[in-house]
Amino acid sequence: MSTAASPTALNRQIIDWISDTTLYKEARDFCERNPPPSNKQVKHLEGLAASCQNWKGLIDYIKHQHERETLKDCKPFYAALWGYLDDPKKGLRKRIETEEFHRVSTEGLSKKEAKQVLDTWTQELAQEFITHLVAEAWWRQAPN
């Protein structure tokens, strides 16, 4: 198995650069268009994103939150977050596969290895985005 999918093989400088130059601004814009849910929901999202070990677990949680009937007030936020991360045409995962984010190369890898590489990069960048999103949500909800 290729080590390309392991977090230690990711180029941390590229991730930090994308986080600082793109994801930070996008998180601010996202919160502007999609008011964050309650502090409790934001805190739970932050904890899950930080502890989630794989892309599927993170996206499954976001889908679950969107589908919960008891969280009607949160549905628009989670629907937008789900779209931002996983829209098949313009979501974060798709953007990682294209040239927008230094196109992650999967050349020469098996289908399974390529999926692992994309999953790992998507997970790392999704965590960065959610970190910025949470910070923006806390800032917006703080008393002035």
Using one digit for the tens of pLDDT, what is the confidence trace for 6-26? 544 558 888 898 999 999 999
Residue 104 covered by a domain:
yes
Residue 32 covered by a domain:
yes
Using one digit for the tens of pLDDT, what is the confidence trace for 67-117? 987 778 889 999 999 999 999 999 999 898 886 666 677 888 899 998 898
**131 within 8 A of 20, measured Cβ to Cβ:** no
Q: How far apart are CA 3 and CA 7, in angstroms?
A: 9
| pLDDT beyond 80 at 144 | no
Residue 123 covered by a domain:
yes
Q: Identify the domain containing residue 133 by its residue range.
A: 18-141
Residue 119 covered by a domain:
yes
| pLDDT beyond 70 at 2 | no
Alpha helix positions (H), 12-74: 12-18, 24-33, 39-51, 55-67
Using one digit for the tens of pLDDT, what is the confidence trace for 110-140? 999 988 988 988 999 999 999 999 999 988 8
Residue 10 covered by a domain:
no
Query: What's the domain count of the chain?
Result: 1
Residue 30 covered by a domain:
yes
Q: Which two tokens stand for residue 141?
A: 């909800």
Give the pLDDT score at 7.
46
Q: What is the pLDDT of the chain when averaged over all its residues? A: 86
Give the pLDDT score at 1.
39
Residue 80 covered by a domain:
yes
Residue 11 covered by a domain:
no
Give the pLDDT score at 100.
67
